Chains A and B, each alone.
Chain A
Amino acid sequence: MPFMLPTILKNLFTGYATRLYPVQIREPFENARGHVVFLDDKCTMCGACAVRCPSVAITTDKEKNELTFYPLRCIVCEVCVHVCPSDAIELIYKWRPSFYDKPVELHKSTRLEHLRESTDKAKEKEAEKGND
Chain B
Amino acid sequence: MEISPRTKYLRTIWAEMARAHSHLLWLGLLADAFGFESMFLQFWRIRERVLDLIEMTAGHRVIPSVNIVGGVRRDINAAQKKAVLDALPTIRKESEDLIKVVVNDYTVKSRTTGIGVVTKEQAFLLGCVGPVLRASGVSEDVRLTKYHAYGELNFEPVVETAGDCYARALVRARELLQSIDLQIEALNKLPEGEIATKVRGNPPANESIMRTEAPRGELFYYAKGNGTRNLERMKIRTPTFANLPSLLVMLPGNQLPDVPVIVLSIDPCICCMER
Contacts and interface: CB of A to CB of B under 8 A. Distances in A.
Interface of A: 1, 3-4, 6-8, 17, 28-29, 31-33, 75-78, 82
Interface residues of B, number: 23
A8 B37 CA distance: 13
A76 B100 contact: no
A78 B73 contact: yes
Contacts, number: 43
B200 to A, nearest CB: 13
Contact of B97 (A1, A7, A17, A78): A7
A3 B104 contact: yes
B57 A31 contact: yes
Interface in B39-60: 39, 42, 45, 48, 52, 55-60
Nearest to A76: B60
B74 interface: yes
Contact of B98 (A7, A17, A28, A82): A7
Chain B interface SS verdict (over half) = helix
Nearest to B41: A17
A17 B48 CA distance: 10
A28 B55 contact: yes
B101 interface: yes
A68 to B, nearest CB: 23
B255 interface: no
Contact of B59 (A1, A6, A32): A32
Interface in B72-106: 73-74, 80, 97-98, 100-101, 104-106
B110 interface: no
Contact of B105 (A4, A28, A76, A77): A4
Contacts of B104: 3
Given A29-B55, A33-B60, A4 B101 contact: yes
Given A31-B58, A32-B56, A33-B60, 8 more contacts: A3-B101, A4-B38, A4-B101, A4-B105, A7-B42, A17-B48, A31-B80, A77-B65
A1 B105 contact: yes
A1 B262 CA distance: 23
